[in-house]
Amino acid sequence: MDITYRPRRLRRSPSLRSMVRENSLRPSDFIYPLFVHEGNQVQPIGAMPGASRWSLDSLIHEVQRAWELGIRCVVLFPKVDESLKTENGEECFNEKGLIPRAIQLLKKEIPQMTIMTDVALDPYSIDGHDGIVSAQGVVLNDETIEFLCRQAVVQAQAGADLIGPSDMMDGRVGAIREALDDEGYEHVGIISYTAKYSSAYYGPFREALDSAPRSETTKPIPKDKSTYQMDPANSREAITEAQLDEQEGADILMVKPGLAYLDIIYRLREESELPIAAYNVSGEYAMVKAAADRGWIDEKSVVLETLMSFKRAGADLILTYHACDAARWLQEK
């Protein structure tokens, strides 16, 4: 056949393929999400095989393991005792609360690890929403931001390196940036959940933290988070959110979920010069684990291919529960 250009020439051997590979994965690309609770035991999470709620003591060992695998950032999520939850979620800015103590402990034991936190009210709220719910069943924007700012300052005071507002209230990035700066924490970064969609992929996460919206209260509670999280049908809106977050002082922009929103990652990469993060969320993780458990897929190959898809779409960083496994597999290659 008279074929001038044959792309297969550059696929002929492993060395040739590695020479022209456009994207790569490294353990330092991963941010490892960790669930923390007050108990003394490690509690496996039923909906997320391989993931657990960590006690403070066991958390140290898990973070040390992640560091030795080449992971350079973890993000902490609290499983808050039911007795501490209120309508306004005031426990979120308790200086002696679970997350401030976890940050302090990790900074003492593994000071080189970057610590990211979550800023939202849902783990601390009896209503299960990211913001304060009014008596009329409305998630209040500006009143919530005041609490989020106090939460962020307490986390920074404890030693957090990156603050992650996941609540999706309007204007919260700018308010948190101002609050941190006013308290002398100009060095603390903000990794904003810029395009966080109202997604069905969050189910296992909400089981892990018992943070889903509730209905067994005396006031009307919105059944989902669609009045503040983004509509899955929208993509242009993500550009608006990214532009606002940049103007308000975000250091890193995030897309959540990741796998079903690769187009959004790509669009933000085209629009912004800031680092882009993708959140490989609990539902995506659970589906892979379930299929692998049944022998339907090869877990290692599917995980690494999925993580590479985030990089190919334009993500610089990937929040993933597969982080330690993926880092180990990359070391073995």
Instruction: Report the half-sphere exposure of 107 (CA within 13 A, side-chain side).
Output: 16
Contact status, residue 305 vs residue 280, Cβ threshold 8 Å: no
**Which parts of the chain are beta strand (E)?**
30-36, 43-44, 52-54, 73-78, 114-119, 132-133, 139-140, 162-165, 189-196, 252-256, 276-280, 317-320
Asked about 219 being catalytic, the answer comes back as no
Q: Using N-to-C axis directions, what is the helix angle for 172-182 and 141-158, rounded to 10°?
A: 40
Active site residue: 79, 85, 225, 256, which one?
A: 256
Q: Which residues of 108-142 are buried (b: 16+ CB within 10 A; e: fewer)?
A: eebeebebbbbbbbbbbbbbbbbbbbeeeeebbbe
Bond before 257 cis per omega within 30 degrees: yes
Q: Take residue 274 and report the two structure tokens written for it.
A: 């800031």
Question: How many angstroms separate the Cα of 291 from the Cα of each of 50, 117, 203, 220, 318?
Answer: 14, 30, 17, 38, 22
Asked about 196 being catalytic, the answer comes back as yes
Looking at residue 118, what DSSP letter applies? Answer: E
Looking at residue 113, what DSSP letter applies? Answer: S
Active site residue: 85, 196, 225, 311, which one?
A: 196
CA atoms of 44 and 184, how far apart (whole Å): 39
Q: Take residue 163 and report the two structure tokens written for it.
A: 């603050």
Looking at residue 6, what DSSP letter applies? Answer: -
Give catalytic residue positions.
196, 256
